[in-house]
Structure 1
Amino acid sequence: MSHYLPQTDNPDGFSVLLIDTHASIPALLVCADQRIRAAKNLLQCLSLMSGNSSHPHDLSCICEASALLLQEGCDLLGVLTLREDTVH
């Protein structure tokens, strides 16, 4: 496994956002937890919005932000899985 792994949500052809695969397990878990909780909070806000008080663009922005945060969290958890596989 390379030292830096590009995140899945990088735009095609660009590896700008990278995950340090040598970061400590607690650091990777904290980052994954932060992103997954932030996505959960956005989705919770979405569930409390009324159809009359929201603009269609707002819904799209919340969904996009949630998807990016969840993908980053999954990518971080994926690094932990890869590291676990290399140990065994």
Structure 2
Amino acid sequence: MSHYLAQTDNPVGSSVLFIDTNASNPALLVCADQRIRAVKNLLQCLSLISASSSDPHVLSGVCEASALLLQEGCDLLGVLTLREDKVH
């Protein structure tokens, strides 16, 4: 595994955001947890919005932010999974 792993939500042909694969397990877990909890909070807010009164742009923005944060959380957990696979 290289020192920096490009996140999968980078635009095609552009690797701008990376994960430091040498970061400690606790640091990776805290970052993944933060992103997954943020998605949970966004979705909770979304559940409170009335379908008839919601702006489609707001809905689209919440969905996009949720997808990006969830993908980042999954990427961080993926680094931990790769580490675990190397150990066994």
TM-score range, shorter chain: over 0.9
**TM-score, normalised by the number of residues in structure 2:** 0.97
Task: List runs of 5+ in structure 1 lacking aligned partners.
Answer: none
| Segment of structure 1 superposing worse, 31-40 or 52-61 | 52-61
Partner of residue 86, structure 1: 86
Query: 1:54 Cα shift?
Result: 1.4
| Segment of structure 1 superposing worse, 24-33 or 51-60 | 51-60
Question: In structure 2, how many angstroms separate the alpha carbons of the residues matched to 1:84 and 1:62?
Answer: 33
How many pairs are equivalent? 88
Partner of residue 60, structure 2: 60
Partner of residue 30, structure 1: 30
Partner of residue 76, structure 2: 76
Amino acid at match of 2:28: L
Q: Percent identity?
A: 83
Question: In structure 2, how many angstroms separate the alpha carbons of the residues matched to 1:62 and 1:55?
Answer: 11
Question: In structure 2, how many angstroms separate the alpha carbons of the residues matched to 1:19 and 1:86?
Answer: 18
Root-mean-square deviation (CA, aligned residues, Å) is 0.7
Question: In structure 1, how many angstroms separate the alpha carbons of the residues matched to 2:28 and 2:10?
Answer: 18
Question: In structure 2, how many angstroms separate the alpha carbons of the residues matched to 1:66 and 1:48?
Answer: 16
Q: Deviations over 1:55-85 (max 9, x none)?
A: 0111010000000000000000000000111
Amino acid at match of 1:6: A
Partner of residue 3, structure 1: 3
